């Protein structure tokens, strides 16, 4: 691999993403600001998918022929790439899934099976996406545990002092996001994890919104579990993963039953396979996982210093530029913001804002963003408009957005 | 497909000054409609006298399309018998859902809503009030219900 580039030039980078050349019927080039929902894919990721289906389409861990070997090598290569990317000590600490939602559902079930007793508690923060809430609520129904909410303040920040009050001897797990998909809040995880561990509480981090934007080192963080989504880090849809500390994963039971997850099978019993295969029953999305590995290689050509410096510059610019729009209110004021800004404009419903800016070929999202409890807390009962950024977004994209928002105001005679 | 097609002046005016936008405490029936994905929320209130819609009103927090559609709906249905109102509501939902369908001549201002037929992502915004009305009509009670389904034949219920 080439050594990472210390300089970062978004204009050059945009050429790696063929979808960004799209223009609408009026000739306006696309401004893609829905990266929290999914990112666009660089050509190398698209090529990796095509290469798999053209030259190594075989199932993994089974074939005795050339393609089978190639597919297995590429799939396991992606595991090694991902382990290095997030600083996992052991490659078998990485389990591939079809997305972050599947990862959390799997973990919630197997952690609950092994660790939870009736009346135990799980804390979830109000910043969480529904996918890091509902799987725990389902365990509440199934096993009689209690799900407790960790409130955010009006700025969308989490207060560590409050966590102290929530933790009890019965608190088995804390589920918290690395970056909020609505407010962009980036909690001080190191501090949070230390505090939870002091109480004997395990911590699961939802890094779906973080992996493409921030360096993650699971050893430094000392988190017990961490999940991520491939398609939000320039990889294919249908790819995701979880990390778990080796000794924790080794104690957990399998999730789905099927091929790969077992060692010996009798007509009435089986013995589970070692990790990570134990949690990867059935044919995995091989091409998508290989594509995810390719997306990580793509990201690794940049130093984190240059990438985060650039993305911070654009988000700070966006925050200032949006504030210049009359009657626009930015939702939440996180102590540290990553990649996302949500806002509302007085007198125009979020849907109408999104429809009007679409006319300018600007893609962004309006609504609840799978965060109904957070919307309620922030008193945004009609939802919010969200602009979420990727490494290819520029300050010019922000200018186009601001112009389109002013146009929405004039259309609505505001 | 231009913005003027969906945000016609008529709709923007109804959005700014909606008709029959109030809560009816003595309503004989009310229903609550909600699109959980995008957040449109609406309540429809009815009062029937001699099987006629004596009063119809709505409240809620919703986008311009949803709100103007609700406002136009209340005007369109007021005074009709329950049976006719139901038939007309179903026919209008049908019309919104099918861009090929010929536009009847007696729609008046409601014709402005048909621009939404070219914006499939906004169709549910336009139909929510109508589904909620049908729900209120089908369940004449004071209990609030979520309009998850109604008697229309489409998959457009929110």
Domain map (residue ranges) of chain A: 10-42+302-411, 47-299
Measured CA to CA, the distance from residue A290 to residue A53 in angstroms comes to 11
SS3 labels along B74-88: HHHHCCCEHHHHHHH
> How confident is the model at residue B1, as a pLDDT?
61
> Does domain A47-299 match CATH 3.20.20.10?
no
Task: Using CB atoms, pick whichever of B37, B62, B122 lies closest to residue A355.
Answer: B122
* Residues in a beta bridge with A146: A121
CA A254 from centroid of its chain's CA atoms: 24
B38 at A interface, C-beta within 8 A: yes
Measured CA to CA, the distance from residue A163 to residue A61 in angstroms comes to 44
Q: How confident is the model at residue B48 (pLDDT cuts 50, 70, 90)?
A: very high
Interface contact flag, B12 A413, Cβ < 8 Å: yes
What average pLDDT values come out for chain A (414 residues) when binned by 10 residues? 76 97 96 98 98 96 89 97 98 98 98 98 98 98 98 96 97 98 98 98 98 98 98 98 98 97 96 98 97 98 96 98 97 97 96 95 94 94 95 98 97 90
Catalytic residues of A: 370
Task: Using CB atoms, pick whichever of A351, A356, A381 lies closest to residue B38.
Answer: A351
pLDDT at B149 over 60: no
CB atoms within 10 A of CB B141: 11
Interface contact flag, B63 A352, Cβ < 8 Å: yes
How many beta-carbon contacts under 8 Å exist across A and B? Answer: 55
Q: Which of A206, A225, A269, A2 is nearest to A107 (CA)?
A: A225
Interface contact flag, A366 B38, Cβ < 8 Å: yes
Helix (H) or strand (E) holding A384: strand A384-388
Interface contact flag, B39 A383, Cβ < 8 Å: yes
Interface contact flag, A367 B38, Cβ < 8 Å: yes
* CATH pick for A10-42+302-411 out of 3.10.129.10, 3.20.20.70, 3.90.1150.10, 3.40.50.300: 3.90.1150.10
Q: All domains of chain B, ordered by start, with CATH?
A: 3-147 (3.90.1010.10)
Tokens standing for A29?
């080039």
Question: Which residues of chain B make contact with A366, given a CB cutoff of 8 A?
Answer: 38
Q: Shortest Cα distance from A68 to chain B (angstroms)? A: 42
Q: Shortest Cα distance from B67 to chain A (angstroms)? A: 10
> How confident is the model at residue B140, as a pLDDT?
59
Interface contact flag, B38 A349, Cβ < 8 Å: no
Interface contact flag, A368 B39, Cβ < 8 Å: yes
ipTM of this complex prediction, to 2 decimal places: 0.82
Q: Do the beta carbons of residue A292 and residue A284 sit within 8 Å?
A: no
Q: What is the mean pLDDT of residues B41-68?
A: 95
> How confident is the model at residue B35, as a pLDDT?
83
- Identify the closest residue of chain B to A356 by CA–CA distance: B3
Per the rule left: phi > 0, alpha: psi between -120 and 50, beta: everything else, A325 is: beta
Q: Which of residues 81-110 of B touch A (CB under 8 A)?
A: none
Task: Using CB atoms, pick whichever of B36, B37, B64 lies closest to residue A352.
Answer: B64
B125 at A interface, C-beta within 8 A: yes
Q: Is the pTM of this model over 0.95?
A: no
- Identify the closest residue of chain A to B39 by CA–CA distance: A382
Question: Which residues of chain B make contact with A412, given a CB cutoff of 8 A?
Answer: 7, 12, 64
**Count of residues for chain A?**
414
Question: Which residues of chain A make contact with B10, given a CB cutoff of 8 A?
Answer: none
Measured CA to CA, the distance from residue B55 to residue A406 in angstroms comes to 39
> How confident is the model at residue B106, as a pLDDT?
86
Q: Do the beta carbons of residue A260 and residue A119 sit within 8 Å?
A: no
Give residue-wise pLDDT tens across range B15-44. Answer: 999 999 999 999 999 999 988 776 789 999
* Residues in a beta bridge with A82: none
């Amino acid at each position: 691999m080439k050594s990472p580039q210390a300089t970062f030039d978004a204009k050059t980078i945009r050429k790696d993403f063929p979808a960004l050349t799209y223009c609408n019927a009026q000739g306006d080039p696309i401004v893609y600001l829905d990266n929290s929902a999914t990112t666009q894919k660089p050509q190398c990721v698209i090529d990796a998918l095509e290469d798999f289906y053209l030259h190594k389409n075989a199932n993994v861990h089974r074939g005795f022929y050339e393609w089978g070997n190639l597919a297995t090598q590429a799939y396991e290569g992606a595991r090694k790439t991902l382990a290095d990317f997030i600083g996992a000590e052991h490659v078998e600490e990485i389990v591939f899934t079809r997305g972050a939602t599947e990862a959390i559902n799997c973990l919630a079930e197997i952690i609950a099976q092994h660790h939870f007793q009736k009346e135990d508690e799980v804390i979830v923060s109000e910043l969480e996406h529904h996918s890091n809430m509902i799987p725990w609520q389902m365990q509440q129904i199934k096993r009689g545990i209690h799900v407790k909410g960790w409130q955010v303040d009006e700025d969308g920040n989490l207060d560590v002092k409050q966590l102290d009050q929530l933790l009890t001897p019965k608190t088995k797990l804390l589920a918290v996001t690395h970056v909020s998909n609505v407010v962009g809040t980036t909690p001080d995880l190191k501090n949070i994890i230390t505090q939870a561990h002091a109480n004997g509480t395990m911590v699961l981090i939802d890094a779906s919104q973080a992996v493409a934007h921030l360096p993650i080192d699971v050893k430094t963080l000392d988190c017990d579990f961490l999940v991520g989504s491939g398609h939000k880090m320039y990889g294919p849809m249908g790819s995701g993963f979880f990390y778990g500390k080796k000794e924790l994963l080794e104690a957990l039971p399998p999730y789905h039953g099927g091929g790969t997850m077992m060692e010996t099978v009798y007509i009435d019993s089986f013995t589970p396979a070692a990790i990570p295969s134990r949690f990867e029953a059935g044919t995995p999305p091989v091409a998508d996982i290989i594509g995810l590995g390719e997306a990580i290689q793509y990201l690794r050509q940049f130093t984190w210093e240059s990438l985060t410096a650039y993305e911070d510059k654009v988000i700070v610019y966006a925050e200032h530029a949006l504030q210049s729009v009359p009657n626009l209110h930015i939702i939440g004021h996180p102590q540290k913001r990553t990649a996302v800004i949500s806002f509302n404009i007085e007198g125009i419903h979020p849907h109408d804002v999104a429809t009007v800016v679409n006319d300018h070929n600007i893609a962004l999202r309006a609504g609840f963003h799978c965060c109904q409890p957070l919307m309620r807390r922030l008193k945004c009962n009609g939802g919010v408009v969200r602009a979420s950024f990727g490494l290819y977004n520029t300050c010019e994209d922000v200018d186009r957005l601001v112009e389109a928002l002013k146009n929405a105001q004039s259309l609505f005679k505001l | 497909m231009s913005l003027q097609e969906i945000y016609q002046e008529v709709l923007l005016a109804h959005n700014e000054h909606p008709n029959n936008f109030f809560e009816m405490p003595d309503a004989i029936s009310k229903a609550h409609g909600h699109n959980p994905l995008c957040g449109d929320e609406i309540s429809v209130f009815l009062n029937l006298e001699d099987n006629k819609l004596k009063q119809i009103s709505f409240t809620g927090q919703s986008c311009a399309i949803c709100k103007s559609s609700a406002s136009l709906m209340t005007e369109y249905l007021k005074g009709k018998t329950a049976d006719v109102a139901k038939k007309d509501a179903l026919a209008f939902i049908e019309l919104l859902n099918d861009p090929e369908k010929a536009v009847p001549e007696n729609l008046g201002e409601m014709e402005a809503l048909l621009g939404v037929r070219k914006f499939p992502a906004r169709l549910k915004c336009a139909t929510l009030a109508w589904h909620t009305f049908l729900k209120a009509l089908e369940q004449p009670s004071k209990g609030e219900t979520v309009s998850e389904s109604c008697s229309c034949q489409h998959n457009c219920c929110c």
